[in-house]
Amino acid sequence: FAATHGDAAKDVALQVPDAGVAYREAVSRGARGIAEPRWVEDEHGRVQLATIGTYGEIVHTFVTRAEYAGPYLPGYVSLSPNGHPGKGVGLIAVDHVVGNVELGKMNHWVEFYERVFGMTNIVHFGDDQIQTEYSALMSKVMADGGGKIKFPINEPAEGKRKSQIDEYLEFNEGPGVQHIALQSQSIVGTIEALKDRGVLFLDTPEAYYDEVEERVGEIDEDYDDLKRLRILADRDEDGYLLQIFTKTAQDRPTLFFEVIERHGATTFGEGNFKALFESIEREQALRGNL
């Protein structure tokens, strides 16, 4: 996997009450079985795992941890970057995981998540909404009934030049996870800490901050802090959200990360989605791949 795709996400695991039941139900609904239910254990207890396939070489492992008290999974130990347990940066959960698929395949995988997981499409961005002079994309956001699990799925759209989704598919050698979004309980402090540790983030033009306060309205945070740290703000009908995106995490223009803080907002604002698209396209142009 790594030889083909580089440093990339392979397994988007899901914690469930019974991995065996989840696996059998998913397979009965047409999912491709990868690994049947099995138990793994160490001195902290045991975990049940079972795996199905999704787009490209990505898999979903069902994980049941009720009988396990260790830090992650059997065989793992908890370490900070210097090798000793350390202070975190305020990240509390995975918010969503975004997949990039080939042109014409988005609706196929939307139907897969509807049929196998019972998810619904909560947001749809068309190529008339997310576009620049040169390229465009289409995206549908799939979510479970409680809104806790969200899987946006992107595909390229026709444009004058190579879409950033096409660039991803070329360098990843196929479909895969574009980015992983991590929830923060205080995004300003989180980003300050991550920048202090050397994490590089996509830049946002000054012009974005000229109108963001008028567009988003009153928030708990200081807009000056958002501008200083290049954090994006947006709003849906339920509240607002704050987001920022890292540069690619390895030597290919593929996987990156997002930090997000939600204040009531359950979906994604079109303004930030377009701002991200434009930021990635600027990086793409600098690489000479546009």
Q: Write down the pLDDT at residue 220.
A: 95
Share of the chain above pLDDT 90, in %: 70
- 84 within some domain: no
Q: 43 and 114 share a domain?
A: no
Q: What is the mean pLDDT of the segment spanning 58-77?
A: 95
Residues linked to residue 98 through DSSP beta bridges, in sequence order: 179
Residues 34 and 100 in one domain: no
Distances (CA, A) of 187 to 163, 257, 272: 30, 14, 16
CA distance 175 to 85: 35
pLDDT beyond 70 at 84 = no
pLDDT per residue as tens digits for the range 192-224:
999 999 999 998 888 889 889 999 999 999 999
**Per-residue confidence (pLDDT) for residue 88, from 0 to 100:** 84
Alpha-helical regions (H) of the chain:
2-5, 19-28, 106-117, 164-172, 187-196, 206-216, 223-229, 270-286
Residue 54 included in any domain: yes
| Residues linked to residue 80 through DSSP beta bridges, in sequence order | none
Asked if residue 161 and residue 19 are part of one domain, the reply reads no
One domain for residues 131 and 267: yes
**DSSP state at residue 111:** H
Q: Let me know if residue 30 belongs to a domain.
A: yes
Show Cβ contacts of residue 128 under 8 Å, excluding neighbours closer than 6 positions: 136
Residue 7: domain span: 2-64
Band the pLDDT of 158: cuts 50, 70, 90: confident
Q: Examine the domain organization and report whether 52 and 95 are in the same domain.
A: no
**Could you tell me if 150 and 203 lie in one domain?**
yes
Domain CATH number, residue 37? 3.10.180.10
**pLDDT per residue over 94-136, tens digit each?**
999 999 999 999 999 999 999 999 999 998 876 555 556 656 6
Flag whether 251 is in a domain. yes
Q: Are residues 250 and 117 in the same domain?
A: yes
* Tally of structural domains, the chain: 2
pTM for this prediction: 0.90
Q: Note whether residue 71 is domain-resident.
A: no
Give pLDDT tens digits for 234-281: 998 899 999 999 999 889 999 999 999 999 998 876 666 676 667 777
Q: Which residues pair with 31 in a beta bridge?
A: none
